[in-house]
Structure 1
Amino acid sequence: MKKIFVLSGVLLAFSLHAQFSVNIQTPADFKDKEAILYTLSGSKDIIVTKEQSKNNSWTFKYPKNYSGMMKVYFPNTNNNISFISENKNVNIKLETEGNKIKNVIYQDEANELMNSIQEYSQKKELILPALAQIKEYYKDNTDFGKALITEIGKLSGNSTVDQTKHPFVYYYNTNYAKFLSNDSAKKVSQDEVVDFFDKSNDMLESSSLVRPILVAYLNNGGNTNVGQSVDKLLDRLKVETPRGQTVLSELIDIFDVYEMTDLKNKYLTLAKNLKCTITDRLASTLKANANVEIGAVFPNYKFQSPVNTTAKSIAEVKADKKVVVFWSSTCSHCETELPKLLEKYNELKAKNIQIIGLSLDSDKDSYTKKIVAFPWINDSELRGWNSSYAETYNVHATPSYFILDANNKIISKPEHVGDVLSNLNLK
């Protein structure tokens, strides 16, 4: 459903004219009809609008100023493409094969430039070291030696961007090179990172740089000083501000991903106790965590194409206890852990305990072949990490487990299959 902007008077008239548009073209045999446009806030994709294709073309009209990363997702074929906006029209042509995107052709100046810089950076990182090694075996005065020197010279330089003409491309690449590049001239201090977060403009939130720079910042401070590093940053930014709340939200997610439970709980409690107006970004983090707190009723999920059940949703599954596991056929830890659950399956059934597997697969064949071995309830949206339940249940890794009671309240969140079995007195 498209967003509806309810404005009055002149503002309503102004909103009818897009600030810029995004146009995507695909070949006639590409089957997906729906596409969803996203912007970015920190590391979180924000849905802007959905559109249906017209002659295998999608046009999204964006009504506001926006400079930063964007994404278009095709839900029925699980394809997505990323690009940038500099508040100017974006034009992209896709080459596809078998409903999969094989090539992206950027037809606007900003994305052409960004793509060329990214390709150049990859060559510099991957090819330059190899060329430097090869050069040792060839004399400089040979034809091949001269060619090597020329190519090394090209890759050793820095690409330049006109800041006035391409502000976001300049912003992204300058700060990536400074804070995240392997060949940075010097190690960036924590004070420099704090200054960057404090003084950077709004392009920070839309740049995709927030989380990786935060991780680098925490690593720079050392494992024993993580809390001090966080407090130093938040004291400068102030958690009552939008920037401070974005960073706080990202930090909570980072600590969740890396299983730093004490730190996650500390800053999640800080967020919960805020008395000021909170941003949508922080609100989504609080909601996702509230959904899966011990004692909370597990948010219901309506099955898409379930097997081994006639139930239509998790709530309709009748059992004394339920084990919900988020997994994937490509997950190595799942390969190790789920067979151990399978070994105890008959004992679980005897105790009226149901297993519900929700897969984060995107490949139907891989998923279908794998679930043949699993006799419990299985379901998947086949959208990978774009699956709706990844956000609903705050899932950051596979496998992830939840144990529910008969009333669908969360009674445990085991970290490993051994913990699941111990909790159910089966180990």
Structure 2
Amino acid sequence: MKKIFVLSAVLSAFSLQAQFTITVQAPADFKDQDAILYTLNGSKDIIFTKEQSKNNIWTFKYPQNYVGMMKMYFPSTNNTFNFISENKNVSIRLDTQGNKIKDVIYQDEANNLMSKQQEGSQKKELILPALTQIKEYYKDNTDFGKALKTEISRLSGGGNEINQTDHPFIYYYNTNYSKFLSADPSKKVSQDEIINFIDKSNDMLESSSLLRPLLVAYLNSGGNTNVAGSVDKLLDQLKVETPRGQTVLSELIDIFDVYEMADLKKKYLDQAKNLKCTINDRLASTLKSNANVQIGAAFPNYKFQSAVNTTAKSIYDVKADKKIVIFWSSTCSHCETELPKLLEKYNDLKAKNVQVIGLSLDVDKESYSKRITAFPWINDSELRGWNSSYSETYNIHATPTYFILDANNKIINKPDHVADVLEFFKLK
């Protein structure tokens, strides 16, 4: 009995050691009460929990080890910011104005250091080339010439070395970003180097935000002639049945979706569907969101938040022979081009008992409200941008995205452009 007690005590002590706390403080006039904490898996934000403020302080207790990127989202005011965890307490203070975050002050050592490193890297990448060009027009013995020389020297330096033991995530992120994603053409790496890194890297790869850009870099390094061959080579080494292989497969399916590479998306989505092993959460979410919007599937219902031009409470409550569902945004240039063409034919669509439903991925209420005054169809928005609940449900990667539903809310067509919508209804 004594041995069991000792083991229990050791496990309890480990659990306490693994837990860390995230504390965020905002000014008294910041109106949002709720905050949502996200972790990261590849390029996908994963909701951990939601907390309410106490005296404008949000406290999250994380019960296990986590090293990597995290995100805080305030849904009522649509504010968001990123930070890192090195499995130690995180302390952040927000500077706000008019319910918008002006500045994020990182008060713990790891985030303060990461913030300074990021700022230095941006200046080195964006400002240093410009300063180097400007220097040619100023003599070194002038005050401005001396200042330029000093700043160029400072930005050209290697910066502070990160101790891997003290700051494992910062070391991991900076080292591998510099090696694999640097804009410096002299640092080009081969496909085999990228494959070996993805294969051998520890779990920080999934939580680092590096995986998606690394896969894009890998595909670009192989050229456009045999993308499938490059993907097969990568997945063969990773073993697609493993958790890492499945996460990479999920990311690749999403990449092919974003870049409208339909044949490649279908090939690897079919491969994912045919796996006989246990599917990890990352790939399962990709399979589910794609299954939601395949031709012939019942379009998942959506309960309207504050819809205009209708008394219906949800998409399913809208009665019509056909429905056109559009995901759009007032800041989307393609939407600005395409939606007026739909507006021209709106009366013809109504005559065919076709209802149009616009779901906006806007953030700014004023911009959204102003734009929908021109659209007589049903309009609704959560005003949360890409944090909107429907972006994942309906596998939305770009705006505008169109779906055509029948009277029973089954998907019968997924047009690429407004011209395809009008052609479907013989209105072109």
Corresponding residue SS for 2:92: strand
Deviation at 1:181, TM superposition (A): 1.4
Which residue of 2 is the match for residue 79 of structure 1? 79
Corresponding residue SS for 2:415: coil
- Identity level (%): 80
1:139-178 deviations in whole A, cap 9, x for unaligned? 3344433332221111112222111111100110111111
Corresponding residue SS for 2:22: strand
Conserved? CA contact 1:18–1:61, under 8 Å: no
Paired letter, 1:133: Q
- Does residue 67 (structure 1) correspond to residue 70 (structure 2)? The answer is no
Where do 1:335-354 residues align within 5 Å?
Answer: 335-354=336-355
Paired letter, 1:244: G
Which residue of 2 is the match for residue 186 of structure 1? 187
Deviation at 1:130, TM superposition (A): 1.5
Corresponding residue SS for 1:37: strand
Which residue of 2 is the match for residue 4 of structure 1? none
- Does residue 237 (structure 1) correspond to residue 219 (structure 2)? The answer is no
Cα distance in 2 between the residues matched to 1:231 and 1:417: 35
Change (3 A) 1:9 1:322: farther
Which residue of 2 is the match for residue 322 of structure 1? 323
- Does residue 27 (structure 1) correspond to residue 16 (structure 2)? The answer is no
* RMSD (CA atoms): 1.5
Paired letter, 2:368: Y
1:363-387 deviations in whole A, cap 9, x for unaligned? 1111101111000000000101000
Deviation at 1:126, TM superposition (A): 1.8
TM-score, normalised by the number of residues in structure 1:
0.96
Corresponding residue SS for 1:243: helix
Corresponding residue SS for 1:23: strand
Where do 1:290-305 residues align within 5 Å?
Answer: 290-305=291-306
1:285-327 deviations in whole A, cap 9, x for unaligned? 0000000000000000000001111110001100000000000
Which residue of 2 is the match for residue 110 of structure 1? 110
Gaps of 5+ in 1: 1-7
Conserved? CA contact 2:181–2:214, under 8 Å: yes
Conserved? CA contact 2:249–2:283, under 8 Å: yes
Paired letter, 1:28: A
Where do 1:205-216 residues align within 5 Å?
Answer: 205-216=206-217
Deviation at 1:69, TM superposition (A): 0.2
Conserved? CA contact 1:70–1:84, under 8 Å: yes
Where do 1:259-278 residues align within 5 Å?
Answer: 259-278=260-279
Where do 1:122-137 residues align within 5 Å?
Answer: 122-137=122-137
How many pairs were matched up?
Answer: 420
Which residue of 2 is the match for residue 284 of structure 1? 285
Which residue of 1 is the match for residue 4 of structure 2? none
Cα distance in 2 between the residues matched to 1:117 and 1:123: 10
Conserved? CA contact 1:304–1:381, under 8 Å: yes
Which residue of 2 is the match for residue 94 of structure 1? 94
Which residue of 2 is the match for residue 51 of structure 1? 51
Corresponding residue SS for 1:96: strand
Conserved? CA contact 1:321–1:403, under 8 Å: yes
Deviation at 1:122, TM superposition (A): 1.2
Where do 1:138-157 residues align within 5 Å?
Answer: 138-157=138-157
Cα distance in 2 between the residues matched to 1:255 and 1:293: 16
Corresponding residue SS for 1:361: coil
Conserved? CA contact 2:18–2:65, under 8 Å: no
1:345-376 deviations in whole A, cap 9, x for unaligned? 00000000000000000111111011110000
Cα distance in 2 between the residues matched to 1:139 and 1:392: 59
Cα distance in 2 between the residues matched to 1:315 and 1:362: 25
Paired letter, 1:261: A
Conserved? CA contact 2:91–2:108, under 8 Å: yes
Cα distance in 2 between the residues matched to 1:118 and 1:158: 13
Cα distance in 2 between the residues matched to 1:9 and 1:187: 50
- Does residue 417 (structure 1) correspond to residue 418 (structure 2)? The answer is yes
Conserved? CA contact 2:361–2:385, under 8 Å: yes
Where do 1:144-183 residues align within 5 Å?
Answer: 144-159=144-159, 160-183=161-184
Which residue of 2 is the match for residue 5 of structure 1? none
- Does residue 198 (structure 1) correspond to residue 195 (structure 2)? The answer is no
Corresponding residue SS for 2:326: strand
Any runs of at least 4 consecutive aligned residues in structure 1 with deviations exceeding 4 A, and if so which?
Answer: 8-18
